[in-house]
Amino acid sequence: SQQGEEDPQALSIQEGENATMNCSYKTSINNLQWYRQNSGRGLVHLILIRSNEREKHSGRLRVTLDTSKKSSSLLITASRAADTASYFCATEGEGGSEKLVFGKGTKLTVNP
Amino acid sequence: KAGVTQTPRYLIKTRGQQVTLSCSPISGHRSVSWYQQTPGQGLQFLFEYFSETQRNKGNFPGRFSGRQFSNSRSEMNVSTLELGDSALYLCASSWGPKLAGSYEQYFGPGTRLTVT
């Protein structure tokens, strides 16, 4: 069953613009992770934010986490055509399991 | 350091057949998880192995099984294939287990299975 729900489902922007994707989840989490997937390929880990963190940066990526609202956002600044991909949030529940529960993803298209 | 490798990359099978997919984790990683990705259901967790033991299982029928070897390599098997089993099967490895903190999962390129 899906835990995270990304919003929007699809996003089309111009190169240089910022892209914001949101993720909402249902249950308590240990951490939340964002992944990128280029068409039909494996997932690339972007960033992990723990439940006791509120914001995290990595290069052009900025992730926020609001556990009271059970939501997270991924901001990609100064987007490039190479950022075109699907972006997924995945939540890791409390406890020792490695299981990740993924949302259905946001398909981002960055037009040159 | 080499990444997660999955073999084969593409596979075409007929309904009723069985298939075995292989995953070699990153050197030193001891935990392997499997996921199924389809356009309709998205990414769904299949199972997780650590030290040759299945630690967690997703909501899939018994036709889906897996195992992990002493070198941490893992295989998953699907018996009596159905058309709906057509999917991208992804394997992920991590250092595991998460006794303290969390470990990022590193995904392989996937095996694209087509059932005709």
Q: Tell whether A57 is within 8 A of chain B (Cβ).
A: no
What is the rounded CA–CA span in Å between residue B107 and residue B97? 17
Surface-to-core class of residue A37, CB atoms within 10 Å of its CB (0-12 exposed, 13-18 middle, 19+ buried): buried
Using the beta-carbon criterion (under 8 Å), do B33 and A98 form an inter-chain contact? yes
pLDDT of residue A96: 54
Identity of the residue in B4, B88, B97 whose CB atom sits nearest the CB atom of A96: B97
pLDDT of residue A100: 83
Residues of B in contact with A88 (CB under 8 A): 43
User: Quick check: B114 pLDDT over 90?
Assistant: yes
Range with lowest mean pLDDT among A6-15, B64-73, B92-101? B92-101
Indicate the SS3 state at residue A24. Answer: strand
**For every residue of B37-91, which 3-state class applies, written as one string?**
EECCCEEEEEEEEECCEEEEECCCCCCEEEEECCCCCEEEEECCCCHHHCEEEEE
pLDDT computed for residue A98 by the predictor: 60
Average pLDDT score over residue span B21-41: 93
Q: Which tens digit of pLDDT belongs to each residue from B47-90? A: 999 989 998 889 999 999 999 999 999 999 999 999 999 999 99
What average pLDDT score do residues B38-46 get?
A: 91
Contacts of B35 in chain A (CB under 8 A): 100, 102
Does the CB of A96 have a partner CB in chain B at under 8 Å? yes
Closest CA to A45 of A64, A58, A55, A54: A58
Reported in sequence order, the residue ranges of A25-99 that DSSP labels E, i.e. its strands, are 29-37, 43-50, 55-58, 61-66, 71-76, 85-93
